[in-house]
Amino acid sequence: MGLRAAIEHGEIVHDTPIDIVAEAEDGLQAIEAVKAHRPDLLILDVSMPVASGAEIVVDIQRWSPDTKIVVYSAVTSPGLLAHLIEAGVHGLFAKGSDASLMLDALPLILRGGSKVDPSILDIVREAPEPAVLTARERQTLNMVLAGRTNAEVAEMMGISPKTAEKHRASMMAKLDVRSLSELMAKALQDGLIEQHGLM
């Protein structure tokens, strides 16, 4: 509500009023709002119910390519932040920073520029290099996180269950994890989850 008030009543873009055309409580609502309004600007959180901001960025870019996407979030995962930068969001700001940093950048972003919060750049730069997985290991990772068994992974990849088990063991060893919860946390941290590839 504070951001809404600042955008509607503040002098963010000189002599250019900004109207809030919609608000969304989850990722799917955000996509529907973008489809309906084709807004100039979308301010998005990453941690949302139903579908996260990270999951819907590509969909939004497809449905409304002219919409400038700004992510304003408390997420500190280096992999996820790097993923958002690579996905082409126009602005990326940490909720822990002064909100004026984002608000001051909106005119630049609306003109086609981009801005990343310096604190986020520091997180991304200082992160250790993620583990390098083969294409098969990445496939296995996403299927395992989607709840597939070794037998199902084998069938879907057209390989033997023994080979599927080998891919799974190798992938988990490289990531240094021993459980599904550790695997999920590590995959999110390193930006290894293919949001639109889960089956």
Q: What would the pLDDT profile of 19-44 be if each residue is shown by its tens digit? A: 889 998 888 898 999 999 999 999 98
The whole-number pLDDT of residue 170 equals 87
**Helix ranges (DSSP H) in the chain:** 2-9, 27-37, 53-63, 78-87, 99-110, 118-126, 135-145, 150-157, 161-175, 180-190
> For residue 5, is pLDDT > 90?
no
CA distance 154 to 140: 9
| Strand, coil or helix: 54 | helix
Q: Which position has the higher pLDDT, 15 or 28?
A: 28
User: In Å, how far are 41, 108, 133 from 9, measured between CA atoms?
Assistant: 16, 18, 49
**What is the gyration radius of the CA atoms in the chain, in angstroms?**
19
The whole-number pLDDT of residue 67 equals 94
Query: Which whole number is the average pLDDT over 69-95?
Result: 85
Q: CB under 8 Å, gap of 24 or more: what pairs does 62-66 form?
A: 63/31, 63/34, 63/35, 64/34, 64/35, 64/38, 64/39, 66/38, 66/40
pLDDT, tens digit, 9 for 90 and up, residues 89-135: 999 998 888 888 888 888 889 889 999 999 888 888 876 666 678 88
Beta sheet of 91-94, edge-to-edge order: 41-44, 68-73, 91-94, 115-116
pLDDT, tens digit, 9 for 90 and up, residues 126-180: 766 666 788 888 888 889 888 888 899 999 999 998 998 888 888 888 888 888 8
The whole-number pLDDT of residue 69 equals 93
DSSP β-bridge partners for residue 71: 44, 92
Q: Which position has the higher pLDDT, 16 or 43?
A: 43
